[in-house]
Amino acid sequence: MSYLFFARWFGLISIILAFGILFNPKNAREMAKGMVHTETGYIMGAVLPIVFGSLAFMHHHAFESGPRLIVDIIGLSMILLGTFRAWFPEQWKKILGEHIDIVPPMFALFGMMFGLILLYVGFISPLIR
Amino acid sequence: MRIAALKTKYNKSVFKLFWLLITVLFLSSCDQKLTGILNPKGIITYEERILLFDSVALMLIVVIPVIIMSFAFIFRYRETHCEGDYKPNWSHSVFLEAFWWGIPCMIIIALGMLTWHYTHKLDPYRKIDGYPVSLQVQVVALPWKWLFIYPEYNIATVNVLKLPVNKQVEFFLTSDNVPMSAFFIPQLGSQIYTMAGMQTKLHLLPNQTGTYRGLDSQYNGDGFSDMHFPVDVVSQKEMEKWVSSVKQESQRLDIVNYTQLRQKSIAHPTTVYAGVDNHLFHNIMHYYMGKGPLKFNSANNE
């Protein structure tokens, strides 16, 4: 799996999920509330980011400049977020509980931004390089 | 009622057809008609296109979500919205402020780093790494024509430029008897200004044969719009053949011919000269630096 494959695959996932959350905020808020108290939060907050982040980070090569760097940074951020959730569950629950109203729109915004940049890296950038 | 409804439906169809035609009209220009930086034919332009696309992408990751979210908010808070999430006393969130100031700051830092990197890498004065300079061309902006001197070959041309493919070319530029001009071959690379009494430098490396458009991109008077020239990028063999053919010409760039070139003329025809004074370019600059009248060494003019 190359970094291009990851960029295309994860970019598409991010965009689809971001749109889903953006246009269904009520549902997303209920889901976020559920995440604080159930094991879904552990899977969504720790397992998946660590799995996806490590997959992206597997293609890291000394942070060389270029589109690969974006995949490195996104992968590293996901690993850090997942690790924080896994190692400090109480702090994670506290933060999520305090900002439960703005977590879904923030997730949608970041999902769109990451998705767009990953789609650019995956589809357009190889054409011009 | 039925007729009115049909009319409305008909109008909508015509309106849709109109927009379809407009879209097709704009897209029709996309087929192999890309010019300039979007259709690069040189190493420098390839890099410039990467910078352009990366910068636009970095900016669009903010612009597109903002546009989409604007529509999402309109959709969410439409007339039928009946959720009790109205918060009249809400005014501030440090968490949100950190996000919507932090993200643009990070993007500006990324854009700054990208631009800094490419600005130094694509500096027109900097030689292109990995390729030796194979040809030097002296360029003089005249009213309203371009004079190209090939000192190595002792030939000169007006309003036509011939370059070898895959060879780094070093340009030295100045102007004579014309306000500041700008030398620009969009498909090959950077634009550079020409000024009287000063020398500017430019390095280009064409990597595909063909004929490209060169132009003056700085308004400098009546003949500005005709101050363009074809740039023929050819193989080394064809280049040598062309140089030999120019050397066969009887016309030489002597003081009489150069004095005529200095006079204003619009849409000057393409001209080639079999001989030129090797010091002409520097003498033009010295003239504007107050070092006496324009000297012309006829001994070199062979």
Q: Where are the domains positioned within chain B?
A: 36-75+94-122, 133-291
What's the CA gap between A18 and B76, in Å, rounded?
A: 15
- Helix (H), strand (E) at residue B98: helix B94-121
pLDDT digits (tens, 9 = 90+) for B127-179: 999 999 889 999 999 999 999 999 999 999 999 999 999 999 999 999 999 98
Token pair of A8 as six digits:
């295309």
Size of interface A-B (CB pairs under 8 A): 46
More confident residue, B181 or B254: B181
CA distance A8 to A17: 14
Confidence of residue B298 (pLDDT cuts 50, 70, 90): low
ipTM of the complex: 0.85
Q: For residues B69-97, give the mean pLDDT.
A: 83
Is B302 a residue whose pLDDT tops 50? no
Q: Which residues of B114-130 are buried (b: 16+ CB within 10 A; e: fewer)?
A: beeebeeebebeeebee
Min distance A76 CA to chain B CA atoms (Å): 16
3-state secondary structure of A38: coil
Query: Do B65 and A65 lie within an 8 Å CB cutoff?
Result: no
- Asked if pLDDT for residue A56 goes beyond 90, the answer is no
Q: Using alpha carbons, list the distances in angstroms from residue B17 to B12, B21, B29.
A: 9, 6, 19
Shortest Cα–Cα distance, B62 to chain A (Å)? 7
**The CATH number of the domain covering residues in B133-291:** 2.60.40.420
Closest residue on chain B to A21 (Cα): B72
- Chain B residues within an 8 Å CB radius of A112: 64-65, 68
Q: Calculate mean pLDDT across residues A76-95.
A: 89
Interchain proximity B83–A109, CB inside 8 Å: no
Contact residues, chain A, for B96 at CB < 8 Å:
102
Q: Which amino acid is at A95?
A: I
Which of A1, A97, A106 has its CA nearest to residue A51? Answer: A1
Best probe of the B interface among A116, A118, A123, A125, by most B CBs < 10 A, is: A116
Q: What is the pLDDT of residue B291?
A: 74
Cis peptide preceding B100, ω within 30 of 0 = no
Position B94, amino acid: V
DSSP letter at B28 equals: G
The pLDDT, as a whole number, for residue A43 is 82
Amino acid occupying residue B236? Q
The whole-number pLDDT of residue B123 equals 94
Confidence of residue A70 (pLDDT cuts 50, 70, 90): confident
Closest chain B residue to the Cα of A124, Cα to Cα: B53
Which chain B residues are within 8 Å of A22, Cβ to Cβ? 68-69, 72
Tokens encoding B123? 């500096």
B300 pLDDT band, cuts 50/70/90, is very low
- Who among A65, A113, A128 is closest to B65 (CB)? A113
B61:A116 CB<8 A = yes
What is the per-residue pLDDT across A86-127, written as a single tens digit (0 to 9) for each?
A: 999 888 888 888 888 888 888 898 899 999 999 999 999 998
Catalogue the long-range contacts made by B70-78 (C-beta closer than 8 Å, 24 or more residues apart): B72/A22, B72/A23, B75/A23, B76/A23, B76/A25
pLDDT, tens digit (0-9, with 9 covering 90-100), for A2-46:
888 889 999 999 999 999 998 888 888 888 888 877 877 788 888
A119: nearest CA partner in chain B: B57
Residue B181 pLDDT class (50, 70, 90 cuts): very high
- Check CB contact under 8 Å for A113 and B68: no
Check residue B29 and give its pLDDT.
Answer: 58
Please tell me which residue, B127 or B29, carries the higher pLDDT value.
Answer: B127
Cβ separation of A117 and B61 shorter than 8 Å? yes
CA distance A128 to chain B (A): 6
- The reply to whether residue B72 touches residue A22, judged by beta carbons under 8 angstroms, is yes
